[in-house]
Amino acid sequence: MNLKQTIDKKKIQTYIILESKYIFIKETQEIIYKYIDKKKSCKITNIIIKNYTDWEYVCNQIKQQDLFSTTHIFNITVYDSNISTFLKINMNKIGNLSNVKVIKIFYFPKLKYNFLCNNFFHNYIKSSIVLINNSFSYTNNINYWINKKIKKNNVKISLSAKNFLLKKFYININFYANLLEKIILLYPNTRITYKKLYTYYTKTKQLEYYDWIKSIIHFKQNQAIKKLYALKKQKYDTTILINSFKTLIYIILYYKNKIFIKKNYINLTLYKKKIMKLSIYSIIKKTTLEKILLALKLLKKIELCSQHNNKKTVWMNLKTLSIILI
């Protein structure tokens, strides 16, 4: 939301974008490009960092830039999930290369943001760098994107319909972004009411973490596995499934043994309210501490597989989670 004001205040040559969904990446690019186009014409190069030679290519391109040539924007996507020593060395190497004709935009879509990550970027940031952390939980960016989309397309939408989108958007950003796009195309020059929106939503509705968790809580083993397969087919975010199941485990652990896990407080606030609407008394009563410990060990394994982008193993272990408490 504040990117435009930040760009106007500073002469920025390096941008770092963390944890972004596609719609936010696209939105950020448009803002940066629009600002640069006002000042000068530019050349754009997209690079995906896979190995050492890719980093060397970026360094060489920056070094070779002629001060009198066109401004060159490098879109550099780095799929590392952790801040490795190798990553630090190359980021610092590029950071030390200064050229007024080069603008670098780093994207880290898979990076797990933690204490070490925070320390590195805190030390890396200078006056010419903007750090953008567009996590799906950042409601201000979601609200900003929805309002901009509605205004840009001159859409007439009722307050109840708009509130429905704002409320649901946090669960599955990609699905609801696509839903809004289709609604705009379906109802040109027509006021979009809650009834119109909800009718279309029910026809195109996809499963969410809640549907899977609900089957687990109600001890419906086959249904839980079927819903998991459906979620896999629609390419649902496995991080949401992992965190929602972890929240369920911590809820059970708290009510069973009065153990509160502070470390997972953020995720508890995201999923607890909705999970607590279900009848969880039976699963609290029947789940043993042995099963809880087994589930926590498996969750740790799944998170490690997720960090290494091993999707096949993640889904296979999520299937085991579907039946581990039953």
Closest C-alpha to 110, from 228, 238, 263: 238
Question: Would you give the DSSP letter of residue 235?
Answer: T
Q: What is the pLDDT of residues 79-89, one digit of tens each?
A: 887 888 888 88
Give the up-direction half-sphere exposure of residue 103: CA atoms within 13 A in the CB hemisphere.
21
| Amino acid (one-letter) located at 140 | N
Longest C-alpha distance within the chain, in Å?
Answer: 73
Q: Quick one: which H or E segment has residue 18?
A: strand 14-18
Please state the rounded mean pLDDT for residues 62-91: 82
Topology of the domain covering 139-204: Helicase, Ruva Protein; domain 3 (1.10.8)
Q: Is the pLDDT of residue 137 over 60?
A: no
Taking the C-alpha atoms of residue 136 and residue 175, their distance in angstroms, rounded to an integer, is 13
Q: What is the pLDDT of residues 289-307, one digit of tens each?
A: 899 999 999 999 998 888 7
Report residue 19's pLDDT band, with 50, 70 and 90 as the boundaries: low
Q: What is the pLDDT of residues 188-227, one digit of tens each?
A: 888 888 898 888 887 777 788 999 999 999 999 899 999 9
Q: Per-domain residue ranges for the chain? A: 3-133, 139-204, 209-324
Q: Is the pLDDT of residue 235 over 90?
A: no
This model's pTM is above 0.85: no
- For helices 209-217 and 221-233, what crossing angle results, to 10°? 170
* Sequence-ordered alpha helix ranges (H) in the chain: 3-9, 22-39, 52-63, 85-95, 115-124, 139-152, 159-168, 173-186, 194-204, 209-217, 221-233, 238-257, 265-275, 281-286, 289-307, 311-324
At the top level of CATH, the class of 3-133 is alpha beta
Please state the rounded mean pLDDT for residues 2-24: 75
Please state the rounded mean pLDDT for residues 229-250: 89
Q: What average pLDDT is seen over the chain?
A: 82
Report residue 147's pLDDT band, with 50, 70 and 90 as the boundaries: confident
Q: Could you tell me which residue, 261 or 46, shows the higher pLDDT? A: 46
Q: Is the pLDDT of residue 39 over 60?
A: no
- The dihedral region occupied by 309, where left means phi > 0, alpha psi between -120 and 50, and beta the remainder, is left
How high is the pLDDT of residue 172? 67
Taking the C-alpha atoms of residue 19 and residue 25, their distance in angstroms, rounded to an integer, is 9
Q: Could you tell me which residue, 116 or 232, shows the higher pLDDT? A: 232
Taking the C-alpha atoms of residue 32 and residue 4, their distance in angstroms, rounded to an integer, is 8
Topology of the domain covering 209-324: Zinc Finger, Delta Prime; domain 3 (1.20.272)
